[in-house]
Structure 1
Amino acid sequence: MASSVGLALCGEALVVRGGSRLLATSTSSSDGDSLFTYDCSTAQKKTQEQEQKGEDGQPGDKGSDTILASTFSKSGSYFALTDDSKRLILFRTKPWQCLSVRTVVRRCTALTFTASEEKVLVADKSGDVYSFSVPEPHGGGKLELGHLSMLLDVAVSPDDRFVLTADRDEKIRVSWATAPHSIESFCLGHTEFVSRIFVVPDHPELLLSSSGDRTLRLWEYRSGRELHCCHLSGLQEPAEPWSDQRFAASRIAYWPREQCVALLCDRLPVVFLFQLDTARRQLVHRQQLSFQHRVWDAAFEESRGLWVLQDCQEAPLVLCRPVDGHWQSDGDSAEVERLSAVLRGNWAMLEGSAGTDGGFSSLYKATCDNMTTYLKRKEERLQQQLERKRRRDPPPGHNGPAKRAKAGEEPQGCSS
């Protein structure tokens, strides 16, 4: 499940979202004055009939307008988002313009554009994936495929042949796009929900996945073969205050220029950096970037490096670059200061969403130890039985209440 605070980059277009609002600008100083904002609370509302009865025929409920997921198309020409009021909103980005507001059946958890940019696919909490046309921005949705479990992410292969879906039941499914009922493979190995999946664009046969089991895995997804698994628990410093916490890997970002993978973890002030070694088909841990504040999101810009959005009003954006093979923050960048000033001027939209954690903590499955519960209850029953027996049959010599005397007979030891 996506956090209500997010960062997205495509080319020089940068989008920051928080609560019901998004803010779009450019990382280039030449376009520094261009600023586009949109508030979902002012978007087209459902009709009264839709509010009373949902698209699936069930009683509807009014959402909070909070943005749940968003993404750019491959070329950056389009941007789409879904919100808590069950709407899919499509934008053109050059220049920025809202093209349509469409209703989805259920609240969505993730979305992606096809490589051809003909469709946008949305995955929802019930386990279904619907497709919506981009050239016909007001067209209705079409059911493509379904899971029995909540979907947490959806992706497509660079040639649009396969749709990949990740769910709460530890599965990654690879389906044929033209016939989604035909399953190419399953990628099985995670022991908790699969939070993110990412098809490597310059190595389209490879897939990255992250999970609530604190692992980052590399797959050859058409065969379902796991190539490598990185356990984050083995990379943590023991002195870190969060080293013994349960956390989920929540965001995967990739930089083709250096074949660098950045991995964020839910609510933690760190970013793990890996090198994708395609020759050996493995991931190599390179560095751990630590911050003073919780990291909300991060994304790579091809020409600069890694932009990090953090929970700090004074310095909401940090730009990290590789210097002699070591990543470090570029604290003197004029572009960072310019963009940070824009966010400080709109801090209310981020601050109001600061308490949300994306909902990952609620996705862990509750453990059930029936034997321990049974033995505890059995011990309680035995203790109760012993207590009742003591009250009913006092031990010899116990000064309990005297037996009731027979009629006309005085108890022994009583004077006449």
Structure 2
Amino acid sequence: MAAVCCAGDWLLTSSSQYLVAVNARQSREPFVFDCTKAEQKPKEAEAENKSDGGGSEEKGSDRILACTVSASGKYAALTDDNKRLVLFCTQPSWQCISTRWVVRRCTSLAFSQTEDELFVADKSGDVYSFSILEPQKAGELKLGHLSMLLAITLSPDDKYIITADRDEKIRVSLRRSPYNIQAFCLGHTEFVSTLFVPDGHPEWLLSGSGDCTLKLWHYETGRRLQSFNLKQLGFSQSSDTDTEKPQRFAVSRIASSPDGRHVAVQCERFPSIQMFEVKDGSEELLTPTEKLTLPHAPWDMAFDSQGRLWVLLQNKDTNVLLYTYSQDCWKVDTEGTDLQRVAEALSNQWDVFKDSVGVDSRFQHLYKVNFDNMASYLQKKQERLQQQDQKGGKKRTGGNGPQSNGAAKKSKNESQREAVPPNCS
């Protein structure tokens, strides 16, 4: 899968083992980072990790698992399948600050608002904190779940760490003392795939899930404010020939404009984006507005600092779209110099992205597997009854008639008595 995020004038994309940063404002060469050429883990560090119970030491594929940028766009970070955690500085020019190693493969990254810490969530359910000011310092364990973590974010005041796992739980923990849990946001029926605190609304939390819903929370109290079933908003696969199989899809990305007025929601495998609006004076917190129909399936999307929406597509000829809000609707920008500059740069780097085209859903293996034990029991019981009826029928109709079985037994007993010699006294 490919991903996109915005850092100042830079549009940051990742795919396979490559990180590609394109400057939308200036005609500059893209910054390209290849994880296959990154620093290798020292052998002594591997031995220490193994002694600490760091899991298997099988070599990864260098594939980027997660990337993010800080609030100001000054820092960026990625983690890959080889358990690297790479930190970059984007100003005044791109440079790699440090390469550190995580204990287990990671799923999500988040910078603190003060940009002094980078939080890492991994597949074992743990969250580690890595210092930005001391870029060579090892990570520190902060908290843990009993299930795989899928998303992490921080409150705008850095007071809370908000984490979501495969078991539908959203946990709100105090950053300075993560063993103190402030609240749980409970209500999803499948894994929570993404979390987002919208700009301009620091008390809100948006969550997306594999249960096809988008939910809005007051995270400090764990109170649910709104819930949207995205199937009812038009996300459905009408071409699916298997009507008996329930449709399942996950929310793959939630983003908001810098002013907090607009929220965009993307679902996996659907060539469309659902827009929401926060209207002043409205009784509704979020109001669904228009749906943006895309020419191809999207990989990811992100708002830039100007409130424009960038959408990364799985197509070489049309690899990126740019939407701007004008006259109460979202319009496609087809002639802007920023768009042309980014589209040309991504087209020249298309070899980086082609391996991610048509890749299966990264959420597919996370769904619950339900077993209908009662239906299986009744089916097996019916089969046993049918087998017993068949055996009974054979016994009643077997031989020369109803008396043949008894006659055969009598003949057999008489022959056995004749074979026994008389008792001589």
Instruction: Report the Cα distance in structure 1 between the residues aligned to 2:328 and 2:189, rounded to whole angstroms.
Output: 34
User: Which residue of 7, 24, 32 corresponds with 1:37?
Assistant: 32
The letter for the 2-side match of 1:229 is S
The letter for the 1-side match of 2:10 is A
Cα pair 1:132 1:140 within 8 Å, conserved: yes
Is the alpha carbon distance of 1:238 and 1:7 closer, same or farther for their aligned partners in structure 2, counting shifts above 3 Å? closer
Q: Which runs of 5+ in 2 are unaligned?
A: 415-425
Instruction: Report the Cα distance in structure 2 between the residues aligned to 1:79 and 1:384, rounded to whole angstroms.
Output: 67
The letter for the 2-side match of 1:249 is V
User: Which residue of 228, 233, 236 corresponds with 1:235?
Assistant: 233
User: Which residue of 251, 254, 258 corresponds with 2:253?
Assistant: 251
32-41 or 260-269, which moves further after superposition?
32-41
Cα pair 2:201 2:260 within 8 Å, conserved: no
TM-score, length of structure 2 as denominator length: 0.89
* CA shift for structure 1 position 401: 9.1
What residue number does 1:115 align with? Answer: 113
Cα pair 2:199 2:260 within 8 Å, conserved: no
Describe the SS at the equivalent of 2:369.
coil
Is the alpha carbon distance of 1:211 and 1:239 closer, same or farther for their aligned partners in structure 2, counting shifts above 3 Å? closer
The equivalences for 1:214-225 within 5 A come to 214-225=212-223
* CA shift for structure 1 position 189: 1.2
Describe the SS at the equivalent of 1:341.
helix
Describe the SS at the equivalent of 1:393.
helix
* CA shift for structure 1 position 138: 1.1
What residue number does 2:297 align with? Answer: 294
Instruction: Report the Cα distance in structure 1 between the residues aligned to 2:14 and 2:363, rounded to whole angstroms.
Output: 19
Is the alpha carbon distance of 1:57 and 1:71 closer, same or farther for their aligned partners in structure 2, counting shifts above 3 Å? closer
The equivalences for 1:100-179 within 5 A come to 100-179=98-177
**Once the two structures are superposed, what CA deviation does each residue of 1:108-137 show, in whole Å capped at 9, x if it has no partner?**
010100111111000011111000011111
User: Which residue of 315, 322, 325 corresponds with 1:322?
Assistant: 325
56-65 or 82-91, which moves further after superposition?
56-65
**Once the two structures are superposed, what CA deviation does each residue of 1:160-200 show, in whole Å capped at 9, x if it has no partner?**
11100011111111100111010111111111111111112
Cα pair 1:266 1:357 within 8 Å, conserved: no
Instruction: Report the Cα distance in structure 1 between the residues aligned to 2:300 and 2:253, rounded to whole angstroms.
Output: 7
Q: Which runs of 5+ in 1 are unaligned?
A: 410-416
Describe the SS at the equivalent of 2:100.
strand
What residue number does 2:422 align with? Answer: none
* CA shift for structure 1 position 343: 1.0
User: Which residue of 269, 272, 291 corresponds with 1:270?
Assistant: 272
Instruction: Report the Cα distance in structure 2 between the residues aligned to 1:161 and 1:32, rounded to whole angstroms.
Output: 40
The letter for the 1-side match of 2:250 is A
* CA shift for structure 1 position 355: 3.3
The equivalences for 1:73-88 within 5 A come to 73-88=70-85
User: Which residue of 7, 17, 22 corresponds with 2:19?
Assistant: 22
Instruction: Report the Cα distance in structure 2 between the residues aligned to 1:99 and 1:187, rounded to whole angstroms.
Output: 36
Identical aligned residues as a percent: 43
* CA shift for structure 1 position 146: 0.5
The equivalences for 1:302-313 within 5 A come to 302-303=305-306, 305-313=308-316
60-69 or 395-404, which moves further after superposition?
395-404
What residue number does 2:263 align with? Answer: 261
375-384 or 84-93, which moves further after superposition?
375-384
* CA shift for structure 1 position 342: 1.1
239-248 or 264-273, which moves further after superposition?
239-248
Max Rg structure = 2
**Once the two structures are superposed, what CA deviation does each residue of 1:339-375 show, in whole Å capped at 9, x if it has no partner?**
1111111111111122334511111101121100111
Describe the SS at the equivalent of 1:348.
helix
Instruction: Report the Cα distance in structure 1 between the residues aligned to 2:303 and 2:208, rounded to whole angstroms.
Output: 18
TM-score, length of structure 1 as denominator length: 0.91
* CA shift for structure 1 position 32: 1.7
367-376 or 385-394, which moves further after superposition?
385-394
* CA shift for structure 1 position 392: 3.2
The letter for the 2-side match of 1:103 is W
The equivalences for 1:40-51 within 5 A come to 40-48=35-43
